Structure 1
Amino acid sequence: MESLNALLQGMGLMHLGAGQAIMLLVSLLLLWLAIAKKFEPLLLLPIGFGGLLSNIPEAGMALTALESLLAHHDAGQLAVIAAKLNCAPDVHAIKEALALALPSVQNQMENLAVDMGYTPGVLALFYKVAIGSGVAPLVIFMGVGAMTDFGPLLANPRTLLLGAAAQFGIFATVLGALTLNYFGLIAFTLPQAAAIGIIGGADGPTAIYLSGKLAPELLGAIAVAAYSYMALVPLIQPPIMRALTTETERKIRMVQLRTVSKREKILFPVVLLLLVALLLPDAAPLLGMFCFGNLMRESGVVERLSDTVQNGLINIVTIFLGLSVGAKLVADKFLQPQTLGILLLGVVAFGIGTAAGVLMAKLLNLCSKNKINPLIGSAGVSAVPMAARVSNKVGLESDAQNFLL
C-alpha cells in the first residue's frame, strides 16, 4: 500500500490545482486559435504549448532555481533565504521581500538556491536567455527590418504622420491603466502602465522587450493580449474605419508614387538611426537592429545574410521566444485581476490607434491637393501585415479597382 500511495503521490494529476487546470485550458485555447483559426500561429502556437508545459504539476519546467526551492517548502532552506532577506521564514514573506529587493540581491538568492542543489527548468532557461537578456526581440527586429521596404514611405513622407498618429493608442493605454489604479479598481504601478501601453503600438516584439524590462511579472498577459489582438485586427478595425469615413473618402484613389532611388534606400536606415539614437539613446537597441536588418536588405551586397535573417534566423528565434513567453503563463502569475485590466486596455488601445490614424489622414487631406485615402491611416498601427491587408480589403469593398496595398 505504501508503494501504491507513493506512486499516486508522484503523479502530477494528484497535485493539479484549480489555477493550473484553468491555465491548461487557456493554453489549449491558444493552440486552437493558432491551428484552427490561424490567429498569429507563428507565436500563439509556441506560446500555447509553453503554457501547457509551464502548468504541468510537479514538472517545474518554468521555475527558476529559487522558485523551485520555495515550492519545495523545506523549513531549513527557507530559513537560510529569509535570513539573507531579513524577513520571516515563510514562502509568502520571502516572495514579498524578493519583489522589493534589488536585481543584484535577487541574483544572489538565485545563486544560493543553485548552491543548495536546485536547478532552473528548461523554460526558465529559455526565458533568461531569450527575453531576460533582451536578445530574442532584438533579433526579431533585425529580421523585420530585413523584410521591410521603405520605398513607399520615402516616396510619400506624409504617411509617416499616419504611423505617428496611430501611436496615440499607447498614451491612451498608459493613462487608462493609471486611471484604473487611481480609482482603486486595479492596481498598476507606473512601469506596469508603461509596459501595458505598448500593446497600443500593436507590435509584439516591442511589447515583449519592454515588458521584460519594465514589468516582467506581467509579460505573459501583455504578450498574449498583444498577439491576440493583432490576430483580431480584421475584426477590430473595419467597424471603426467605416464609422469614421464616408463612402466618397473610401473611394479615393491615390496618385502613383515616384520611384525611389537605391541610394535613398541605403542612406535612410543609416540617417534614421543616427538622428533618433542621438536624441533617444534608449531606443538604440531596437532601432539599431531594425536599421541594420534593413541596410542588409537594401545594400544588395550581403544577400546571403539578408536571406538568413529574414528566414532561418527569425524562425528559430520565434520558437524560443514563444516558449519563453509561455513560461510566464503559470497560474499564480497570470490569474490576477491585472490580467483582466490588460485585456480590456489592449482592445481599447487598438481601437484608439486605428481611429487616430484614420483621423490624421482626414486632417492631412484638408491641407493637401494630393488626397490620401483615410483607410490607410489604420495601417499606422504596427500589426504587420494584417493592418495593411484590412485597409486594402475595406477599400475594395467601396471600389473593386482601388488597390491600396
Structure 2
Amino acid sequence: MDIVKDILLSTGFFALTWGQVLMWAIGGTLIYLAIKKGFEPLLLLPIGFGILMANLPLAPLMNEGSGLIWRFYHYGLEWEVIPPLIFLGLGAMTDFGPVIANPKTLLLGAAAQVGVYLTFFLAILLKFTVPQASVIGIIAGADGPTTIYLASKLAPEMMGVCAVAAYSYMALVPLIQPPVMKALTSEEERKIVMKSLRPVSKLEKIFFPLIAMLVICLVVPDSAPLIGMFMLGNLFRESGVVARLSNAAQNELMNIVTIFLGISVGATMSAETFLSFKVIYVFILGCAAFILATGTGVIFAKIMNLFLKEKINPLIGAAGVSAVPMAARVVHKVGSEANRRNYLLMHAMGPNVAGVIGTAVAAGMFISVLG
C-alpha cells in the first residue's frame, strides 16, 4: 500500500492547485482565440500552450538550469536574442518607401508614442514601480517584441502579462481603433483624398536603412540591438543581392524564433506570478495605452493640417502605432467608408512603419534612463 501511495503522490494530480487550473483556462482561452477567432494565432497559440506547460505541477520544464522551457527562456529572452531576431525578420518584410516618399509621416509615428509616456505616468499613479511602468507604457506601441525586450531588461516579472496584453490589443486593432478615430474626426476630415505618393528609387531605399541606423543609434545607443537588426533586415530586402538571406529572415528564421518566443513568454505565466490584481490593472492600462496612442496620432495629424497647404487625412495618424500592417488596413477601411475614392493604405504605412521605429526608440530611452 505504501508503494501505491508513493506512486500516486508522485503524480501531478495531488499537487494540482486551483490557481494552476485557472491558468489552464486562461491558456485554453488564448488557444481558442487563436484558432477560432484568428487573433494573432502565430503568437497566441504558442503562448497559450506555454501557459499550460508552465502550470503543470511537478513538471521540470521551468526548473532553473535544467528545465527545457527554462533554457528557451534563458537563452532566448534573458540573453536578449529572440526580440532582435524578430526585428531582423520584420525589417526584411518592411517597405520604407511610404516613409521616404512622405517624410512628414515620421512625425505621426513619433506623435503616437505620446501614448507610451502618458500610460507610463498612469501606471506610476497605480503604484507600479518605475521600471514596471515603463514596460506597461510601451504596450501603447502595440509592439510585442519591443515589449518583451524592454521587460527582459527592466522588469522580467512583467514579461508574460505585458506580452499577452500587447499581442491581444494588436489582435483587437479592428475593434478598438475605429471608434476612437471616428470620435476625433469629422465626416469631412475622413473624406480627405491624398495624392498618390511619388516613386522612390532603389538608391533611396538602400541608403535609408544605413542612414537611419547610424542617426538613431547615435541619438539613442540603447536602441541599437532592435534598430540595428531592423535596418539590417531591410537592407537584405532592398539591396537585391541577398535574396536567400532576405527570404530566410522573413520565413524560416522568423517562424523558428516565433515558436520559441511564444512558448517562452507563456512559460513565464505561472499561477504564482500571474494571479494578482496587478494583472487586471495591466490589461486596463494596456487598453488605455492603445486608445491614447491612437488618439494622439490622430490629433497630431489634425494639428499638422493647420500648417499644411496640402492637407493630410487625419485618420493616418492612427497608424502611428506599431501594429504593422493591421493599423494601416484599419485606417484604409475607415477612410474608404467615408469616401469610396479614398485609398489610404500606402499613406498609412508611412506612420505605421515610423511607429515601429518610434516604439523601439522609446524603449531605448527607458533603458538608458532606468537600466
Q: Same fold (TM over 0.5)?
A: yes
CA shift, 1:204, in A, is 0.5
Report whether the alignment pairs 1:295 with 2:235: yes
CA shift, 1:401, in A, is 2.9
How many equivalent residue pairs? Answer: 345
User: Match of 1:263?
Assistant: 203
Percent identity of the aligned residues? 58
CA shift, 1:3, in A, is 2.6
User: Match of 1:397?
Assistant: 337
User: Match of 1:179?
Assistant: 125
CA-atom RMSD in angstroms: 1.0
Unaligned runs of 5+ in 2: 346-371
Q: Structure with the greater relative contact order (CA < 8 A, sep ≥ 6): 1 or 2?
A: 2
Alpha-carbon contact 1:255-1:370 (below 8 Å) kept: no
TM-score using structure 1 length: 0.84
- 1:134 maps to a residue whose letter is E
Report the Cα distance in structure 1 between the residues aligned to 2:161 and 2:255, rounded to whole angstroms: 23
Alpha-carbon contact 2:233-2:246 (below 8 Å) kept: yes
User: Match of 2:269?
Assistant: 329
User: Helix, strand or coil for the counterpart of 2:308?
Assistant: coil
Report the Cα distance in structure 1 between the residues aligned to 2:12 and 2:336, rounded to whole angstroms: 54
CA shift, 1:397, in A, is 1.2
Report whether the alignment pairs 1:137 with 2:77: no
User: Match of 1:79?
Assistant: none
Report the Cα distance in structure 1 between the residues aligned to 2:282 and 2:33, rounded to whole angstroms: 19
User: Match of 1:146?
Assistant: 92
Report the Cα distance in structure 1 between the residues aligned to 2:61 and 2:343, rounded to whole angstroms: 48
Report the Cα distance in structure 2 between the residues aligned to 1:398 and 1:200, rounded to whole angstroms: 27
Alpha-carbon contact 2:293-2:321 (below 8 Å) kept: yes
Report whether the alignment pairs 1:34 with 2:24: no
Alpha-carbon contact 2:193-2:341 (below 8 Å) kept: no
CA shift, 1:386, in A, is 1.1
User: Match of 1:355?
Assistant: 295
- 1:357 maps to a residue whose letter is G
User: Match of 2:143?
Assistant: 203
Report whether the alignment pairs 1:223 with 2:169: no
Alpha-carbon contact 2:213-2:231 (below 8 Å) kept: yes
Write the mapping of 1:272-291 to structure 2, written as runs, cut at 5 A: 272-291=212-231
Alpha-carbon contact 2:39-2:168 (below 8 Å) kept: yes
User: Match of 1:77?
Assistant: none
Report the Cα distance in structure 2 between the residues aligned to 1:32 and 1:330, rounded to whole angstroms: 19
User: Helix, strand or coil for the counterpart of 2:150?
Assistant: helix
TM-score using structure 2 length: 0.91
Report the Cα distance in structure 2 between the residues aligned to 1:31 and 1:360, rounded to whole angstroms: 37
CA shift, 1:129, in A, is 1.1
Alpha-carbon contact 1:375-1:391 (below 8 Å) kept: yes
Question: What do residues 256-309 of structure 1 show as CA deviations (whole Å, max 9, x unaligned)?
Answer: 111111111111111111111112111111100001001111111111100110
Question: What do residues 3-24 of structure 1 show as CA deviations (whole Å, max 9, x unaligned)?
Answer: 3222221221211101111111
Runs of 4+ aligned structure 1 residues displaced above 4 Å come to none
User: Match of 2:255?
Assistant: 315
User: Helix, strand or coil for the counterpart of 2:61?
Assistant: coil
User: Match of 1:374?
Assistant: 314
Report the Cα distance in structure 2 between the residues aligned to 1:403 and 1:274, rounded to whole angstroms: 33
